[in-house]
Amino acid sequence: MMTVNGMTQERVLELIAAYGAEPMGWPEDERDAARALLEAEPEAFAAALSDAEALDQALGLEAVPEPSAILAETVLAAAPDALRTRSGLIDRLSSLLFPQGIRWPAGAALASLAMGLIGGYAYASTGIGYDQADSAYYAAFGLDSGEDWVSLE
């Protein structure tokens, strides 16, 4: 059994059966290796290609039906409205942060992120040292460390 660039005869036969006789319809990442194997062993694939070509031609004869007017109206009615134009700074910022529109989970996540960043920055800018912060934590949870956490020494 021959392989070319890792392509086996079985895989080429699978490609022909699944995608038809025309290599342009095959997956792009396998196309070149499959073509190389086809050129190296054309007799191994002649029957499969012949069957696939006959099926492709039969399928090509079938007319594609036009969708009914009711179906077209239903699809268009279910389609989302066109995006409105945004002009103000808040509207542009909102469209940047919420490209799919404001939704509760995304808004809640963004709000919690903003509050955490602002709270963290505000706490860091107060200049309270780690020792005092630890003492405040211990006192708040009843684990008094015995230090005077209120003093600003």
pTM for the model stands at: 0.42
Does one domain contain both 48 and 95?
Answer: no
Q: Domain for residue 84, yes or no?
A: no
CA distance 21 to 25: 8
Residue 153 lies in a domain: no
* 33: its two tokens: 């290796």
Sign of the torsion angle spanned by Cα atoms 79, 85, 90, 92: positive
Neighbouring CB atoms inside 10 A of 52's CB total 20
Q: Where are the alpha helices (DSSP H) in the chain?
A: 9-19, 28-40, 42-61, 69-78, 89-97, 104-124, 130-140
Q: What are the pLDDT tens digits along the chain (153 aa)?
A: 566 678 899 999 999 999 999 999 999 999 999 999 999 998 999 999 999 999 989 888 888 788 889 998 898 888 877 655 556 777 777 777 666 666 656 677 778 888 888 887 777 666 655 667 677 767 777 775 555 545 544
In a domain, 123, yes or no: yes
Parent domain of 96: 89-140
- 95 within a domain of the structure (yes/no): yes
- Of 45, 61, 77, which residue is a domain's last? 61
For residue 145, being part of any structural domain is answered with no
